[in-house]
Amino acid sequence: MQATNLHVVNEASASAEIKRLYQQFREDFGRPQVPGILQCFATHPSLLAHMMGLAKSMLFVDGALGRQHKEMISTFVSATNRCSYCTDSHAHSFRTQGGSAPALDAVLACDPESRSIAAQERTLLRFVKKITEDSQSIAPSDIETMRAARWTDLQIAEAIHVTALFATFNRVVNAFGLPSQELLKQFERPQQEADGASHA
């Protein structure tokens, strides 16, 4: 992974400690490639270790919020912050977690009012949008609106954490200059080929 602004820590030039953490990532997540964002955090080994812990315990697991909702939030926040790397990565994950193409289109358009999204999720995305764009104005009434839409307090807390974390990740990635990996296109191409074959 090449970044346009600041060098990331690729494996060839990594210290023994970073190489160990990269291998731990592969074992924990079953992925052969270390993502570019982790290579950004690898400038500081302790930061990389903490971020891997967050990924394992909060971001890429079902919790109070399921993976699909977390990926929906991550994509919405990343699109709002104009982070092409994170938007593409998490749009791909949203689809692989079962999110529909119309719902993804609405999320990528940062449109929490779209009827392609269920009513409960529209409330969630309005909340996420307000945290992202105007967090200082969050008030008890916003929490009550979420509760009225049947989101639990623990789900609301997770939504806040995921939203805020991705604001950080987007800024790190944009400042380093990581390009999009074009993962969503790789997901959509087999879908389009399958649709074409079914109409042949």
199 vs 173, which has greater pLDDT? 173
Q: Which of 14, 17, 52 has its CA nearest to residue 35? A: 52
Question: Measured between alpha carbons, how far is 113 from 119 in angstroms, rounded to an integer?
Answer: 9
Q: Where are the domains of the chain?
A: 10-61, 64-169
- Does the structure show a pLDDT above 80 at 200? no
- Contact predicate 178/82, CB 8 Å: no
DSSP 182: -
Q: What is the mean pLDDT of residues 5-14?
A: 94
In the numeric block, the tokens 């649709």 are attached to 195
- Span 145-165, pLDDT tens digits: 999 999 999 999 999 999 999
3-state class of 31 per DSSP? coil
52 Cβ contact list (under 8 Å, min separation 6): 21, 24, 25, 28, 38
Tell me how long the chain is. Answer: 200
Q: What is the mean pLDDT of residues 63-80?
A: 98
Residue 165's pLDDT is 96
pTM, two decimals, is 0.90
Q: Domain 64-169 is in which class?
A: mainly alpha
